[in-house]
Chain A
Amino acid sequence: MDRRHFLKHLSAAAAGGLCTPSFHRMFAWAQQGQDNPHFFIFMFAQGGWDITQVFESQKEGLQTIDVPTGVRNQFGPEVTDTFWDDPVGRPAVSQFFQDFGDRTSIVNGVYVRSLSHNLGRETVMTGTTGMNRPDWPTQIAARKASDRLLPNLSLSGPNFPGNLGGVTTSGTTFNRLLFPSGYAPEEDIESSMETYLNEKLNGILSDVTDMGHEGGRVDELDRGYLRFNEIKEARNTLNLGGGGNFTDQGLSAVGAFQNGISVTATLRVPGGYDTHNDNDMRQGNNFQNTFMGLNTIVTELATRPGTTGTGSLLDQTTVCLVSEFGRTPRLNGGNGKDHWPVTSMMFVGGGINGGKVFGGTDDRQNYRNVDYTTGLPDDASTIELATPNIGAALLTLAGLDANEILPGEPVFTPLLNMGG
């Protein structure tokens, strides 16, 4: 345990808990020019989405693939840069591409290698299964911002912290835990309590270190309480919002980025995408609701100033919209679609090569190999596009060495616009 932390407990005990140096630390992060992180919001559509609903827009007229009602609509410079539009049934989708199409990339034909919900989620978020590998947001938060107050906000959606769980603040109840609706001691009483508890904590720390323990759990105890006290002290400033729905959680993440508290966040988008029956109607509703929230969150990012001194927070943030797999090409007897190991992903915001569609599937919705220089489907290529390749690109965007974390995995660089 270093002296700084120990003295922190001492000062908190002496001063009654409030107004400690942690405030300065927190705001220092948020000061322009002092920190230049890249933020990520991972939005997870749980259940497995139908890629023909929005992303794979080239499939109408085929006998082998059932597509929903709608039209193809161009949002990027090339004629192939299109999405599947239905302005009447899903106006929020149309509106989103109208507003942010030039900041958006779609990646089709991503091979997930699984038809299992659990394994699909793990593969999409970590690039593998069964290895206890931390997911992308955890890796980024742990390696780039472990000293932040809440480095990775896993508010909802899947969470694979692996061996880096200490940086993750998980649970949809985070706001409820921070702002309880029931009884909580008054502020002055809480202050007296903290003084007492800090004395107890210091007693424990003193005794266990006197016994020869150091590092490990002793440091954990010290740092855990330090950060705990900082969170409580800063809770009114955190202003993460009290709501628990998708949009509220997204706005909480935006606030946490801007205030220098977090660098990554994971949210679950509305609706269950596991549409084994009534596929088109249910998927359509889900996409409408998802894009409605997405619009609000991305608009907020675009409106707020970044922490770098120039540009908006959106320039500094990448929103990743993903699902654990896709759905079968054809409708089943219940007008549903079942699990399919090929999916699409969508990326919005800073560092993304916007207005583009990459990758693709064939006439039977199998993934096609891609040319890693253009990102476009290329049947002469021997390289497929799978979840580790996307993950490697995101890690690169975060300023990490993807090869160190995913040795040998090609980085899907066409997705990135690092100079923009």
Chain B
Amino acid sequence: MFHKPYTPHRLERRIYLPILSALVLCLAIAPGQSEPPLSDTGKYQLLPDHKYAVRLAVDLLGAHPTVGDLEAIVGGTKSIDELIEQYLDDERFYHRLLWIANDFFLTERTDVPFYQDVFDDELEEEIAASLGEEPLRLFQYLVSHDLPMTELATAAYTIADSTLAEFWGIDYPGPDGGSEWMKCHYTDGRPHSGILSMQSFYFRYESTAANKQRGRANHITRIFLDDDHFQRNVSLEFRLANNRESDLDNAVRYNPGCLACHSSLEGVVGHLQALQIGPVGDSTQEYEDFNNYSHQGIERWQLISERVPSYYGRPSDGKLVTLGKYLGNDPRFSYTMAKRMLAALIQGLVDYREGDLLVELDKIFRDSEFRLKDLIRAVVKTDLYRAMGVTELASEDEARLIQPFRVITPEQMATLGFDLTGQTWGEEDRPSLEYDPSFKIPAGGYDGQVIEKRSHAITPMLLLTYQRHAEAIADDVYDFELRGDPPANEKKVFTLANGSEDPVQFQTLVKTQISQMSKRFHGEMVGPSSLEVGKLYDLLLEFRNQNGGSTTRAWRDLLSLMLRDPRVYFY
């Protein structure tokens, strides 16, 4: 069995909490289960199967397991491996991929003020949404079609909906106004090379006349290779003699401090000169200029700068396709993917101390010919992913990333709320917790522009935001399921009771309904006669009294309470 290290702290806790601890249900261990299982190495305390299923469902689907799946897992009629395969083929997994991709690309939120003369105001949000999704949809397409992820840099096509196609000039094969994202091509004759040839990517990551595509080049190396030139530890003399362009031009060629980055950066920059630097204006003319791929740009740049394209010292003809091949074949690409997926799924800052595991994951990814599902499957089966604690056998390095629980992200909370209740906070197709930065950011999300990194910190604002989310969707359930009269198959919460029954007269039915909700909402395998359900039942009665005898309003309160339970946020 696992060993609990003795600490005075724990002793203190035992003095203060003898009764409370016995009363409450814990996060990780269901009633009837004594202690969590151990990993084969004996180093990690692992989540029990039903909690492991919850973690997998939240991470892969942004949802909770069905009661049937939970019971099958607990009953041994379905294995975790089967569940993983089921989830990796689920439509909701493909939606999750958009956010996983956005964590890398940060393109989802794109403003389009520059081109305000080009389209009607009402189209602005639609256009912005489509622009931001172009790289993410390619990511999703590759996974859903089981294609190698190297096509992120090499695909001979793009993925577009009709809005994007009309905006950039793409041969969309679907109907006018079609919302389906489909494989298609730019019509300006540009060579396609995955994200590298996407106009939306360069709209999001613009350049300036002064910087000559260097920022874009750095975003490419940062995204694909985890090589952020800004993070290089170099000694710089910032105060150049003047801000004249010739001084800067000389500096990036001859100044040793500058060369520490520019020796590799300038070669990548050379591949991007066929693209306009903009957008820099807001007129129709600027729009037309920007959306224009010029083959002559590369030669022009070479002539002006006296430098040729290259890839980390290797020769290149400067074509985007060549850059894409270099990126796809670069061992740093697969290693970066492995590192990012591991970090995302364990919510930790992965570094050299996970080197052995990363090499293993990298090999799995490469052996699968860069199939992302294989990489994800490998990550979620690691002890590191499933662990919730360590034993004394674990070294300090092995223990450093182990947390007792994960913190749900706003995007996961949005889809989980819909999964549990059928209701959405905000617009149905653009839930606030997924798409509105003013709600996402307080809950630890990012907008990709001002806030570029996700926070997994448990802040008061996160808790406040999630409380309002719980109340909003509980109120929607109240309106739809309790006050309305929807068909039974459209009800997501009140699948057994209808919510208007007298809870005293129909105690068994009501408790069974609460038990069902506990399983779905909290992943707890509690029966109608359990202490947990009894406590919630008592609260329902209390709320009914406080609501002047209204059972439906009492249910709304109970529902909002159950959706605010820490076991929904921490998994």
Name A130's contact: one of B230, B546, B570 (CB within 8 Å). Answer: B230
Alpha-carbon separation in the docked complex, A199 to B22 (Å): 11
Binds A, one of B335-343, B356-364, B377-385, B459-467: B459-467
Q: Does A200 sit within 8 A of B, measured CB to CB?
A: yes
Q: B478 to chain A: which residues have CB within 8 Å?
A: 183
Whether B566 pairs with A182 at a CB distance below 8 angstroms is no
Q: Is the CB of A188 within 8 A of B404?
A: no
Q: Does B72 lie at the interface of the complex (its beta carbon under 8 Å from any beta carbon of A)?
A: no
Asked whether B154 is an interface residue with its Cβ less than 8 Å from the other chain, the reply is no
Nearest CB to that of B560 among chain A residues? A185
Contacts of A199 in B (CB 8 A): 20, 23-24
Residues of A within 8 A of B464 (CB): 177-178, 228, 231-232
Known contacts A206-B13, A207-B27, then 20 further A-B pairs from the complex at CB < 8 Å, ordered by chain A residue: A6-B16, A7-B16, A116-B206, A130-B230, A159-B451, A161-B451, A171-B442, A182-B472, A183-B472, A183-B560, A196-B561, A200-B566, A204-B567, A208-B27, A217-B403, A218-B404, A224-B457, A334-B283, A338-B280, A338-B281
Q: Is residue B534 contacting chain A, with contact meaning CB distance below 8 A?
A: no
CB distance from B126 to the nearest CB of A (A): 20
Of the stretches B3-11, B60-68, B177-185, the one at the interface is: B3-11
B163 to chain A minimum Cβ distance, whole angstroms, is: 24
- Name the contact of A214 in the complex, choosing from B9, B25, B556 (C-beta under 8 A): B9
- B388 contacts the other chain (CB 8 A): yes
Find chain A residues with CB under 8 A from B475 CB. Answer: 182-183
B458 CB–A CB distance under 8 Å: yes
| Residue A96, interface by CB 8 Å | no
Residues of A within 8 A of B209 (CB): 115
Which chain A residues border B564 with CB–CB below 8 Å? Answer: 193, 197
Residue of B nearest to A159 (CB): B450
User: Which of B132-140, B305-313, B499-507, B535-543 contacts the other chain?
Assistant: B535-543
Tier of interface size on chain A = 35 or more
> Given A116-B206, A171-B439, A200-B24, are A211 and B404 neighbors across the interface (CB < 8 Å)?
yes
Complex Cα distance A277/B230, Å? 34
- Contact indicator B17/A207 (Cβ below 8 Å): no
Is the CB–CB distance between A193 and B474 below 8 Å? no
Which residue of chain B has the shortest Cβ distance to A209 in the bound complex? B13
Q: Which residue, B24, B209, B230, B542, has most C-beta atoms of chain A within 10 A?
A: B24
A160 CA / B447 CA spacing, docked (Å)? 12
9 A-B Cβ contacts within 8 A?
A115-B210, A116-B208, A116-B211, A118-B449, A197-B565, A204-B566, A211-B388, A224-B459, A339-B280
Is B389's CB within 8 Å of the partner chain A? yes
Q: 8 Å CB contacts to B: which residues of A211-269? A: 211-214, 216-218, 220-221, 223-225, 227-228, 230-232
Contact status A3-B459, CB under 8 Å:
no
B215 at the interface (CB under 8 A from A): yes
Assess the B26–A204 pair: CB atoms within 8 A. Answer: yes
Which of A121, A192, A210 meets B13, CB within 8 Å? A210
In the assembled complex, B453 has its CB within 8 A of some CB on chain A: yes
Residues of A contacting B12 in the complex (Cβ-Cβ under 8 angstroms):
3
Chain B residues whose CB sits within 8 angstroms of the CB of A129 once the complex forms: 230
In whole Å, how far is B9's beta carbon from the nearest beta carbon of chain A? 6
Q: Cα distance A116–B215 when bound, in Å?
A: 10
- Whole-angstrom CA separation of A221 from B570 in the bound complex: 10
Known: A185-B557, A221-B458. A130 touches B231 (CB 8 A): yes
Chain B residues positioned under 8 Å from A115 (CB to CB) = 208-211
Which A1-30 residues sit within 8 Å CB-CB of chain B? Answer: 3, 6-7, 10, 13
- Do the beta carbons of B450 and A158 come within 8 Å of each other? yes
A399 located at the interface, meaning its Cβ lies under 8 Å from any Cβ of chain B in the complex: no
Q: Tell whether B468 is near chain A: CB-to-CB under 8 Å.
A: yes
CB distance from B172 to the nearest CB of A (A): 30
Query: In the complex, what residue of chain A is closest to B209 when comparing beta carbons?
Result: A115
In the complex, the answer to whether B29 meets A277 with C-beta atoms within 8 Å is: no
Over the window 514-553 of chain B, the binary record of Cβ atoms lying under 8 Å from chain A Cβ atoms (1 yes, 0 no) is 0000000000000000000001000100110011000000
Please give, as numbers and ranges, the residues of chain A lying within 8 Å of B390 by CB-CB distance: 212
Contact of B566 among A188, A201, A213, A274 (CB under 8 A): A201
Chain A residues positioned under 8 Å from B25 (CB to CB): 200, 203
Tell me which of A119, A132, A277 contacts B282 (CB under 8 A): A277
A217 lies within 8 A of B404 (CB): yes
A173 within 8 A of partner (CB):
yes
Q: Determine whether A309 belongs to the interface, using a CB cutoff of 8 Å to chain B.
A: no
Q: C-beta contact mask, B368-405 vs A, less than 8 Å → 1, else 0?
A: 00000000000000000000111000000000000111
Kindly list chain A residues whose C-beta atoms are within 8 Å of the C-beta of B215.
116, 119
Q: Which of A184, A206, A211, A214 has the most CB of B within 10 A?
A: A211
A206 touches B17 (CB 8 A): yes
A169 within 8 Å of B (CB atoms): yes
Residues of A within 8 A of B45 (CB): 211
Task: Determine whether the beta carbon of B4 is less than 8 Å from that of A210.
Answer: yes
Does B113 sit within 8 A of A, measured CB to CB? Answer: yes
Contact A170 B565 (CB under 8 A): no
Q: How many A-B residue pairs have CB under 8 A?
A: 214
Tell me the nearest residue of chain B to A206, going by C-beta. Answer: B21
Does A196 lie within 8 Å of B566, measured CB to CB? no
Known: A171-B441, A212-B4, A224-B460. A130 touches B228 (CB 8 A): yes
Q: How far is the CA of A189 from the CA of B45 in the complex (A)?
A: 38
Q: How far is the CA of A231 from the CA of B460 in the complex (A)?
A: 8
Is B208 a contact of A217 with CB atoms below 8 Å? Answer: no
Q: Is the CB of B4 within 8 A of A211?
A: yes
Residue on B nearest A277 in the bound complex, by CB? B282
- Report A276-322 residues with CB < 8 Å from chain B CB: 276-277
Give complex CA distance A132, B5 in Å: 37
Contact status of A209 and B10, CB under 8 A, knowing A172-B438, A224-B462: yes
How many angstroms from the CA of A200 to the CA of B535 in the assembled complex?
Answer: 12
Q: Within 8 Å of chain A (Cβ to Cβ): is B275?
A: no
Q: Are A166 and B13 in contact (CB under 8 A)?
A: no
Chain B 1-53 residues near chain A, CB threshold 8 A: 4-5, 7, 9-10, 12-13, 16-17, 20-21, 23-29, 45
Answer whether A203 and B450 are a contact pair too, CB < 8 Å, given A173-B442, A209-B13, A220-B458. no
* Least distance between B458 CB and chain A CB atoms (Å): 4
Q: C-beta contact mask, A150-178 vs B, less than 8 Å → 1, else 0?
A: 10000000111100011001111110011
Tell me how far the C-beta of B404 lies from the nearest C-beta in chain A, rounded to whole angstroms: 4
Distance to closest chain B CB from A153 (angstroms): 11
Chain B minimum-CB-distance residue to A178: B464
Q: Is B471 an interface residue (CB 8 A)?
A: yes
Known A171-B439, A206-B17; judge A177-B543 contact (CB<8 A). Answer: no
Decide: B26 and A197 in contact? CB cutoff 8 A.
no
CA distance A224 to B467 in the complex (A): 14
Contact partners of A204 in chain B: CB under 8 A: 26-27, 405, 566-567, 570
The closest CB in chain A to the CB of B392 belongs to: A212
Residues of A within 8 A of B21 (CB): 203, 206-207
Min C-beta distance of A190 to chain B, whole Å: 9
The 6 closest A-B pairs by CB, nearest first: A203-B24, A130-B230, A224-B458, A207-B26, A183-B475, A208-B404
| Given A115-B210, A129-B230; A177-B461 close (CB under 8 Å) | yes
Q: Does A404 contact B (CB under 8 A)?
A: no
- A278 → B minimal CB distance (Å): 11
Given the complex of chains A and B, what is the CA–CA distance between A228 and B464 in angstroms? 7
> B438 and A209: CB pair below 8 A?
no
Instruction: Check B471 against A169 for contact (C-beta < 8 Å).
Output: no
Cβ of B77 within 8 Å of any chain A Cβ, yes or no, is no
Query: Does any Cβ of B come within 8 Å of A272's Cβ?
Result: yes
Cα of A263 to Cα of B291 in the assembled complex, Å: 46
**Complex: how many Å from CA A384 to CA B462?**
42
CB < 8 Å neighbour of A208 from B405, B449, B460: B405
Task: Check B243 for interface membership: any CB of A closer than 8 A.
Answer: yes
Tell me which residues across on chain A come within 8 A of B403, comparing CB atoms: 213, 216-217
Contact with B along A95-133 (1 / 0, CB 8 A): 000000000000000000011101101000000011110
Chain B residues whose CB sits within 8 angstroms of the CB of A339 once the complex forms: 208, 280
Q: With A130-B231, A210-B10 given, is the CB distance from A203 to B27 under 8 Å?
A: yes
Closest-CB distance, B29 to chain A (whole angstroms):
7
